[in-house]
Amino acid sequence: MTAALTRPDDRSGTEVPAPKEPTTDGFAADAVTEATIGRQRSPEPDAQAILRRQAARESSARTYARSLPIVPVRARGMTVEGADGRRYLDCLSGAGTLALGHNHPVVLAAIRGVLDTGAPLHVLDLATPVKDRFVEELFATLPPELARDGRIQFCGPAGTDAVEAALKLVRTATGRRGVVAFTGAYHGMTAGALAVSGDTAIRDATGAGSGDTIRLPFPQGYRCPFGIGGVRGERAAAYQARSLLEDPGGGVPAPAGMIVEPVQGEGGVLPAPDEWLREMRRITTERGIALIADEVQTGLGRTGAMWGVDHAGVVPDVMVVSKAIGGSLPLAVVVYRAELDRWWPGAHAGTFRGNQLAMAAGAATIAHVREHRLDEHAGRLGARVSGALRDLMAAQPAIGEVRGRGLMIGVEIVEPDAGPDALGARPPAPRLAVAVRREALGRGLIIELGGRHNSVVRLLPPLTMTDVQADAVLERLSDAIEAARAAYGARSADGESA
């Protein structure tokens, strides 16, 4: 690691890397100074008072606010400053929404450009120059088959609404009901999206049910559902899918669609193996099943390719897109093959599907990612960060596996003193993972957890992250894991519940 990144005697995390000011090379500046995030500052708000009021008034469904007790007041690029004056490197990025980081100059310019023209901000689904440019930019990134004659449906502001639209679309087009989904999947929080997600606790609590969902195992190496791992495990998963859908006595009616994440995010940062995904494409094509790619988190360069499906060379029938395409503002769309466009007017609608500011910010973001090849940068830098974390595994028994693609990285935290199973996997350690997150925050690093047991550290930095910032993230995360493991081991030795 680079010793100059933080002062050796400062473990508070208040120091941050100081990369270059904004240039034309596509990488954001993160120097949080009086000049960049506020020359004339008002007195800072009382952070603790705000947090107390939030806890008293907001619903118990709040999530990030529980694990990240900070009150952001300024942000630029990868850096967030709290009301208490502390600064943090943000490896959450709005759960993957901020492809260019916070308040990127091209995004701010695009928003101001719309405001300065006096253009309407709310237009339902009417055509506007802003929307036209957004569609042009988005279609320029799509696989050629979709870009040539595809259709786009603007949805409500969240990805979960776009998932609902995709499910309605394939059911309308095929006249069938069933949908193939996978264990560990996460597709959103509305009823239809929950039905094809893997979290049974939420479904049971809300009564959403699984409806017409046909659920199959998602392949993974570290905790293979078939107990064999590797390529054999991937082939077993593909074989089971084909066998189930082809078995005339299997009791499974022909489904309308299959929905899959190119990399499962909430499920633990699990990349879909390329050959397995290609086999899912072959199976769905042969049987007239619409393949839906949920690219809400993987899209727009996050995985080291423009779209997650690009790694396997797969062209889905439907792509669900949100998060990064709004340039930090709410926007969600479905793109699909023209032959599926059998909807009638109003078959799917939403009052806020015409968000002009989001379309302007999104078009600017897409253009910036394309122009500066930030997808390629994410691939290169992600490989370096993942490689450094894998090197750390040899000396750090709390890390079970490092996985992911591009700048969508997962570090599974495991019981450091437990023995491995037959495939070499050790038990997940969710409490230790929580301690890692807490220690990281204390060092000025914002991370989140995910995975089946909430024991996977998820890294989703902006695509503009620099090498200097990557080194700082690695140093702080490494220190956090070691500090959490040492405290965890001490408590266990004292007989406390870890």
Q: What is the CATH number of the domain that holds 462?
A: 3.90.1150.10
At residue 448, does pLDDT exceed 60?
yes
Q: What is the reported pLDDT for 391?
A: 97
pLDDT of residue 25: 46
pLDDT at 29 over 70: no
Predicted local confidence at residue 361, as pLDDT: 98
CA separation for the pair 470, 180 (Å, rounded): 38
172: in domain: yes
Output the pLDDT for position 8.
31
452-493 pLDDT, tens digit each: 999 999 999 999 999 999 999 999 999 999 999 999 876 765
Judgement on whether residues 342 and 426 belong to the same structural domain of the protein: no
Distance of CA 19 to the CA centre of its chain: 25
List the domain range (segments joined by +) for residue 209.
119-371
Q: Are residues 358 and 242 in the same domain?
A: yes
Same domain, 359 and 432: no
Name the token pair of 254: 């022909």
Residue 191: predicted pLDDT: 79
* pLDDT tier, 199 (very low <50, low <70, confident <90, very high otherwise): confident
pTM of the predicted model as reported, rounded to 2 decimal places? 0.89
Mean pLDDT in residue range 130-137: 98
The confidence band for 152, taking pLDDT boundaries of 50, 70 and 90, is very high
Over residues 373-396, the mean pLDDT reads 97
Strand order in the sheet with 408-413: 399-405, 408-413, 456-459, 448-450
For residues 447 and 459, the answer to whether their CB atoms sit within 8 Å is yes
Taken in order 15, 17, 23, 24, the sign of the CA dihedral is negative
Residue located via tokens 């500052």 = 41
Whether 340 and 468 map to the same domain: the answer is: no
CA distance 462 to 62: 24
Are 302 and 347 part of one and the same domain?
yes
Whether residues 263 and 340 fall in one domain: yes
Residue 50 maps to a domain: yes
Q: CATH number, domain at 227? A: 3.40.640.10
pLDDT at 198: 77
In the structure, what pLDDT confidence band is assigned to residue 195 with cuts at 50, 70 and 90?
A: confident
pLDDT recorded at residue 212: 87
pLDDT band at 31 (very low <50, low <70, confident <90, very high): very low
Q: What is the pLDDT of residue 243?
A: 95
* Residue 25 within any structural domain of the chain: yes
Q: Determine, yes or no, domain membership for 498.
A: no
Domain match, 340 and 194 both: yes
How far lies 293's CA from each of 64, 269, 310, 315, in Å?
26, 16, 11, 9
47 and 149 share a domain?
A: no
362 with 391, same domain?
A: no
Average pLDDT score, the chain:
89
Residue 375 confidence (pLDDT) above 60: yes
Say which range, 17-21, 106-110, 238-242, has the weakest mean pLDDT. 17-21
Boundary-marking domain end, from 371, 388, 404: 371
Is 90 exceeded by the pLDDT of residue 228?
yes
For the cut 80, the answer to whether the pLDDT of residue 59 exceeds it is yes
Residue 111 falls inside a structural domain = no
Could you give the C-alpha distances from 373 to 68, 139, 302, 309, 368, in angstroms and in order? 32, 16, 11, 17, 8
Handedness of CA 188, 194, 199, 202 (dihedral sign): positive
Strand partners, 74: 81
Give me the number of domains the chain comprises: 2
Task: Please tell me whether residues 302 and 392 are part of one structural domain.
Answer: no
One domain for residues 97 and 222: no
Considering the domain architecture, whether residues 389 and 306 belong to the same structural domain is answered as no
